[in-house]
Structure 1
């Protein structure tokens, strides 16, 4: 840790203010709590909301994992890890099971999270009603009156135009039967992971100055009509060309020379762990 920097970058007063907002968010699942978003040494829009949550919560004995769209080694993930590690000295890991605190952009890890873990999601746009209402005071009123007709109309228009809902990511969810919430731009595949999650899920939007949360064991339901039920991306019959995994979120890879299509696990640490397990199994069977 750098000698001229507070532990975890922030002064204690800043941490307390963010923690108070976080506690309120946990107490009212899905409700967007305003907070005094701080200036950060990274640009707004690059994960400042999630980073502020991480820096306000992390302790000296915690183990940190940071992923960006499933990858531990992307520029965004590496930069955030470097900042947190240089101002705290905490251990970092790429293994989901070993992490106490996981900060993520656009994905929820494939490995099921536990009650001893906290997932922090970076959020660019926390207001699910923004596509239908630009005025902040009106969206606040709509939330207070439980008026989500605009969100339903948005989905209905997609069905009329495309024959199905066309939200590839950030599909709105009902939290605890009360608030409609933007789950961050995670794929539809990850929405069900929020329902009755053992881990605490925190969502931070630095540019929009909002914090909200899904406490453990909370009901989360993706918005859908009875005759047009919510459906996740299907990878039926597809397996990862590296580790052979199935029933996980896949990236489609196209060879520019041959045009051949292959698939690989989007969660790179999960893929590497599966690959290592396969190799161990091969060695054990060879000596059996």
Structure 2
């Protein structure tokens, strides 16, 4: 027997692109993040074939979790066919051999930017959210050393003051995306740049959510059946975007989160943000057999 017989055959790259040590570190940090919901965990963000700020954090988590039996769905602001979503989906498939899909119900691993699908996720699905800025205290405390001490002391008074000032000046909370939310009654997190419409979907959800920022080298998690409560005052309740009465001009779907499309005459048309749910609605209207999943919202009201 020679040394070449004992050696592993040469391969151009590790399975799933990342080397084994990188995956081990990410798995350890993800386990810690699940154990302490909402708490940011630092990790050594590796280089991937994508520019920083375009989803490298979510991509690294997906590359760590993926396996040949995975079914991958990638969306960008609700769309499966955007350039960024299509590129990430194709890359994940090439380096892992996993199948890809656009159907939320058949996916086991969902990587998303800015949106959570309208159809409810189950306990056998993992949602990976790309996060540009994981630190909710940065707008009120730019010094990260002090911000981490504030997290340790559960001192979020400056965030409450910021929300109060918005109410006094504007009559309502002006915070749109990345609404600060208290996780498991302890840590305040920024739930990615998802709209307020999607924040209630994280509360006591059946699925695991992992949020990762590659540029900032931080990740945190929301385990299944964990309380996620937006910061609100008792006399000023949390409100989502008022999209209940809007209809999609393509599919006719109503009561879901919409994208506004300005027209040349100054008016606006609205299109369903979750592109796959819109496609399902159109196919169902045309008589094709389609399987719909239960949705988080019904007639614009969270169920």
Q: Is 1:209 aligned to residue 217 of structure 2?
A: yes
Alignment match of 2:76 (pick from 56, 68, 71): 68
- 1:109 deviation in Å? 0.4
Going from structure 1 to structure 2, the CA distance change for 1:124 and 1:278 (only over 3 Å counts) comes to same
Aligned residues: 279
The aligned residue for residue 191 of structure 2 is 183
CA distance in 2: counterparts of 1:237 and 1:44, whole angstroms:
38
CA distance in 2: counterparts of 1:141 and 1:260, whole angstroms:
48
The aligned residue for residue 165 of structure 2 is 157
Q: TM-score, normalised by structure 2?
A: 0.90
The aligned residue for residue 271 of structure 1 is 278
Matches within 5 A, 1:165-180: 165-180=173-188
Alignment match of 2:200 (pick from 188, 192, 197): 192
Whether the 8 Å contact between 2:244 and 2:256 is mirrored in structure 1 is no
- 1:35 deviation in Å? 0.7
Q: Where do 5+ consecutive residues of structure 1 fail to align? A: 283-288
The aligned residue for residue 45 of structure 1 is 53
CA distance in 2: counterparts of 1:90 and 1:228, whole angstroms:
46
CA distance in 2: counterparts of 1:88 and 1:70, whole angstroms:
24
The aligned residue for residue 9 of structure 1 is 17
CA distance in 2: counterparts of 1:87 and 1:46, whole angstroms:
19
Residue aligned with 1:98, SS: coil
The aligned residue for residue 235 of structure 1 is 243
CA distance in 2: counterparts of 1:58 and 1:101, whole angstroms:
8
Computed over aligned residues only, the root mean square deviation of the Cα atoms, in angstroms, reads 1.3
Q: Is 1:132 aligned to residue 148 of structure 2?
A: no
The aligned residue for residue 286 of structure 1 is none
The aligned residue for residue 218 of structure 1 is 226
Residue aligned with 1:225, SS: coil
Whether the 8 Å contact between 2:182 and 2:188 is mirrored in structure 1 is yes
Q: Following TM superposition, where does structure 1 have runs of at least 4 consecutive aligned residues deviating by more than 3 angstroms?
A: none
The aligned residue for residue 296 of structure 2 is none
After superposition, give the CA deviation of every residue in 1:209-246 in whole Å (9 maximum; x if it has no partner).
Answer: 11100000101111111121110001132211222212
- 1:281 deviation in Å? 7.1
- 1:98 deviation in Å? 0.7
CA distance in 2: counterparts of 1:173 and 1:260, whole angstroms:
34
- 1:129 deviation in Å? 0.3
CA distance in 2: counterparts of 1:19 and 1:213, whole angstroms:
12
Return 258-267 or 202-211, whichever deviates more: 258-267
CA distance in 2: counterparts of 1:139 and 1:69, whole angstroms:
29
Going from structure 1 to structure 2, the CA distance change for 1:228 and 1:15 (only over 3 Å counts) comes to same
The aligned residue for residue 297 of structure 2 is none
- 1:253 deviation in Å? 2.0
CA distance in 1: counterparts of 2:212 and 2:60, whole angstroms:
8
Residue aligned with 1:245, SS: coil
